[in-house]
Amino acid sequence: MSKSKKIIVANWKMNPASFKEAKAIFSAIKPKNKKSKIKADVVICPPFVYLSALADYRSTRIKKRSTLINLGAQDVFYEPEGSFTGEISPLQLKNLGVKYVIIGHSERRALGETNEVVRNKILACIKYIITPIVCVGENKRDESGNYLSFIRTQIEEIFSGIPKSALSKIVIAYEPIWAIGKSALREATPVESNEMAIFIKKVLSDLYDQKAVENVGILYGGSVNTKNAGEFLKNGGVDGLLVGRESLDSEKFNEILKVVSSK
């Protein structure tokens, strides 16, 4: 990831219901127009079932724009091939032209994904030259600061065995789980995001060294919307955003992209 650019990732999750809808959303996303030049890498992460068709559509239509939309995946398995029913390999994603993969999202962890599995997926992505977007985040924020120990353990277990040379090829997304979805206690603030971005880099510096983590991109992901995107980019200490629900509305997502061009 280029530190001179922001990165805006759209996580469509298990939406929409048809390729017709997916194509309509994808085609309406405009990372560049006559009035604004978006200084960002834009990544769309649709469900697996739409990746191949969107890759074909992208190759025939999106190349006409000077700023390309990158394709990402919402998950990956850590083996290149084999008897793993229902899994998608990094090699398959690479052959589709996928450039990014979300790894360790809280919704995957809720289904049992462990820090060890996340680490294996990172190593697989690095091997096949796909940028992993590694999600970390706490379930709750307590006044005693135990959430910091939780994040530290998460990072230490994930990055155990990840070579220092791979750090610049990894993006980390901080997602405070307590601030996401219908059960959110409240929205996180840019100040909290900034504190966590600093803390994440501090933990990585302890594992490696300060110079090694200079080029590690940090994203914020937690109910990002048109109202708060600008503040997180300006004061959240992050290099970009992981957008969920509002990435399915092309008008709202384009508004978020416009915010990037003003920063």
Catalytic site residue from 21, 79, 87, 105: 105
Long-range contacts of 204-210 (CB under 8 A, 24+ apart): 204/155, 204/159, 204/167, 207/155, 207/156, 207/159, 208/164, 208/167, 209/164
- Does residue 214 have an active-site annotation? no
Output the 3-class SS for 99-122. CEEEECCHHHHCCCCCHHHHHHHH
User: Helices in 29-81 by DSSP H: which ranges?
Assistant: 48-61
63, two tokens? 């190349």
Distances from the Cα of 92 to the Cαs of 74, 99, 124, 149, 171, in angstroms? 14, 12, 12, 36, 21
Catalytic site residue from 138, 175, 192, 246: 175
- Does residue 175 have an active-site annotation? yes
Neighbouring C-beta atoms of residue 251, cutoff 10 Å: 10
Known catalytic residues? 105, 175
